[in-house]
Amino acid sequence: MSGDTNEVRDANAMFDLSGRVAIVTGGSRGIGRAIAHAYAAAGASVVIASRKADACEAVAKEITDAGGRALAVATHCGELEQLAVLVDTTVAHFGGIDIVVNNAANELAQPLGAITPQAWDKSFSVNLRGPVFLVQYALPHLIASGRGSVVNVVSAAVFTRAEGKGLYAAGKAGLVAFTRTMAGELAEHGIRVNAMAPGAVETDMVRKTGPETMARMRGAAPLNRIAAPEEMTGLALLLASDAGSFMTGQIVSIDGGLTVH
């Protein structure tokens, strides 16, 4: 902090999320699960949202067994009605919404020349439309919070050629654009909107690509490895908490140096 008149803030307090309510989509596995656990450990009440009810319940139980507060709400993030129910259920249970983490993603990949209209709709409904409408549905509660934060999980693919993954990369690139637009439009309400752009992280999505592709991913970044999901949580905490209070409209790469220019 700059200026002699500013008080030095306690480092732990800056990351404290006590009293806040966070929705984490795609929260039942991978990056979303790691973020949900980190937010709960920092004091937040966390809502785990993903398609499979049993997987959501399992993560919520992990958090509550560890002494945290969590609620499982099975949600298909490509279905707008379900996103509206997610918001209503969260508010009914926890009383408000302070943080939205748009982490759910559809990894559908088709190369140019083979893209079908059905794949287009399926990919963009989850990767772009869902996150935008979830923020819209949650907006009255984020405004009421007075300290609202939106964290959009995009991808290093938005900064690369992303051969064969154009649908996925384009949806995430659209979310980058909305991140900046939301940051500008919602700043007057004290709502910060940022995005984190992971590189290769050891998730189900990455493991499905197979050993050869994973080996290429591992060697593509200067750090020469694939990240663990838990390595994404420090940035996710920064963007959601008072530690990032002067950050908005930023797209922060967390990719082992993959996209260094």
Q: 44-78: buried (b, 16+ CB within 10 Å) or exposed (e) per residue?
A: bbbbbbbbeeebbbebbebbeeeebbbbbbbbbbb
CA distances to 11, 114, 229, 239, 260 from 34, rounded to whole Å, are 21, 34, 6, 15, 25
The reply to whether 168 belongs to the active site is yes
Contacts of 71 (CB under 8 A, 6+ apart): 45, 46, 47, 48, 60, 89, 90, 93, 94
Per DSSP, the three-state class of 118 is helix
168, 191, 235, 258: the active-site residue: 168
Tokens at 39, concatenated: 């937010």
- The closest alpha carbon to 108, from 95, 99, 117, 100, belongs to 117
Contacts of 39 (CB under 8 A, 6+ apart): 17, 22, 24, 46, 99, 236, 237, 240
**Residue 192 pairs with which residues in a beta bridge?**
149
Pairing verdict, β 192-198 and 251-254: parallel
Q: Strands of 192-198's sheet, edge to edge?
A: 69-74, 45-50, 21-25, 99-102, 149-153, 192-198, 251-254
Catalytic positions, written as ranges: 168
